[in-house]
Amino acid sequence: MSDVSSIAQAKPDFIRFVKSNIRDYALLLSLLVIMVFFQYTTNGTLFKPVNMTNLILQNSYIVIMALGMLLIIVAGHIDLSVGSVSGFIGAIAAVLMVSYKVDVITSVIVCVALGAFIGGVQGYFTAYYRIPAFIVTLAGMLVFKGLALTVLGGASIGPFPKSFQLLSSGYVPDVFGGSLFGLPFNILAMAAGAVVTALIVFFNFRERRNQQAHGLAEEPHSIFLGRNLLVAAAFLGFTFLMAQYKGLPNVLVVMFALIALFVFLTTRTTMGRRVYAMGGNEKAAKLSGINTERLTFFIFVIMGALAALAGLVFAARLNVATPKAGAGFELEVIAACFIGGAATTGGVGKVIGAVIGAFIIGVMNNGMSIMGIGIDWQQVIKGAVLMLAVFLDVYYKNKA
């Protein structure tokens, strides 16, 4: 009788958990469905190793900026200037490295510091003068778009030094020789993927064990196991595809390190908890002792630095700085966060959700381009997906 009653109790718990977390699971399933759909409609082109590598290279700068944008949105703000800032920083990098022959490391440090300064200036006006971030960053978008044109003199500047191009076009060398059974295969990439997968699963199980010890585990065991199996299969499958081409792109390593850092920042640090508290209710956060002005200032500094890094990655990939670089980036970055589950009212959003949102957009761009769909209809479809994501967010929030 006890087994029957426990099973009867488990079913309502299972349904209740799925309903309360439907957005998170629907997001991951949506990415899988979209990838399978384009794999079929592109006759298997999507999952080819070279195309998967290109997918990473094409979306790396969007993912990098989405990490900072998530903090901005969770805090209850918005940043419309990230595309223009990234383009401006790319222009500065070109002038430093190509025109003035400044070494790569110094140029990168100067550019990231300049991006952080720009973010700090915008954050200062938003935090301490209470000017809406929408207005401040809209002004910044116009200012830095114009400054990029001024710095470049209306023309493109390039090519960049070979060492700088490696930021976006280089790969981690395989110390094991780059072959397996006589066939091209990056063993280091596969080994790194296996280690990362094992670590993710290990930390997930350790966290669940801690939750169970304190009676806080809400996720049903079957869903927990299924989720970890799915994550492990996705990581190992992706790494296998990378290993069949050139291995791990340098920018993928940078991107993964930043994702891990921001997951830790948002889930394990006092600053992360304060950002969510401020986005949920700024007045209550302020009354509880949180310096909301300083916190707002810092998240804009972070956003500026990440926009600068994304601008460097994009410039390295193109191997030239152009006046139009960064155009429309802010729209895709913001869309990635909202598609990934960030709430329009602030206080809600996850790093992994923003990353998945960025890849949903990236896979759609890549798949539609392979299918030959025009840029006009691509914009229509992406706009419809964004609207659907925001509608679902509001719908399920109202039902809660």
Whole-number Å distance between alpha carbons of 207 and 198: 14
For residue 6, what pLDDT is reported? 47
Does the pLDDT of residue 78 top 60, yes or no? yes
Write the single-letter amino acid at 371: M
Residue 163 has which token pair?
């060492």
For residue 8, what pLDDT is reported? 46
For residue 7, what pLDDT is reported? 46
pLDDT classification of 231: cutoffs 50, 70, 90: confident
Whole-number Å distance between alpha carbons of 112 and 116: 6
Q: Three-state DSSP class for 179?
A: strand
Q: What one-character-per-residue DSSP string does 88-114 give?
A: HHHHHHHIIIIIS---HHHHHHHHHHH
pLDDT classification of 1: cutoffs 50, 70, 90: very low
- Please give the residue that has the higher pLDDT: either 248 or 10: 248
For residue 176, what pLDDT is reported? 82
Q: Are 288 and 92 in contact (CB under 8 A)?
A: no
Mean pLDDT of the chain, nearest integer = 88
pLDDT classification of 19: cutoffs 50, 70, 90: low
Break the chain into its structural domains and give their ranges: 25-170+249-399, 171-248
Q: Give the residue among 98, 99, 113, 115 at the shortest CA–CA distance from 164.
A: 98
The position carrying tokens 């959700």 is 353
Exposure string (b/e) for 294-320, b if CB count within 10 Å is 16 or more?
ebbbbbbbbbbbbbbbbbbbbbbbbeb
**φ and ψ at residue 209, rounded to 5 degrees:** -60, -40
Does the pLDDT of residue 70 top 70, yes or no? yes
Q: Are 61 and 313 in contact (CB under 8 A)?
A: yes
pLDDT classification of 17: cutoffs 50, 70, 90: low
Tens-place pLDDT, residues 327-369: 889 989 999 998 888 888 888 889 998 999 899 888 988 889 8
Q: Indicate the angle between helix axes 49-74 and 329-339, nearest 10 degrees.
A: 80
CA distances to 198, 254, 290 from 232, in Å? 8, 21, 39
pLDDT classification of 400: cutoffs 50, 70, 90: low
Report the pLDDT averaged over residues 226-230: 88
% of the chain beyond a pLDDT of 70: 92
For residue 397, what pLDDT is reported? 66
CA distances to 47, 224, 255, 264 from 250, in Å? 20, 32, 9, 22
Does the pLDDT of residue 92 top 70, yes or no? yes
For residue 376, what pLDDT is reported? 83
Using the 8-state DSSP alphabet, how is residue 320 labeled?
S
Report the pLDDT averaged over residues 95-114: 95
For residue 126, what pLDDT is reported? 96
For residue 32, what pLDDT is reported? 85
Write the single-letter amino acid at 117: F
Q: CATH code for 25-170+249-399?
A: 1.10.3470
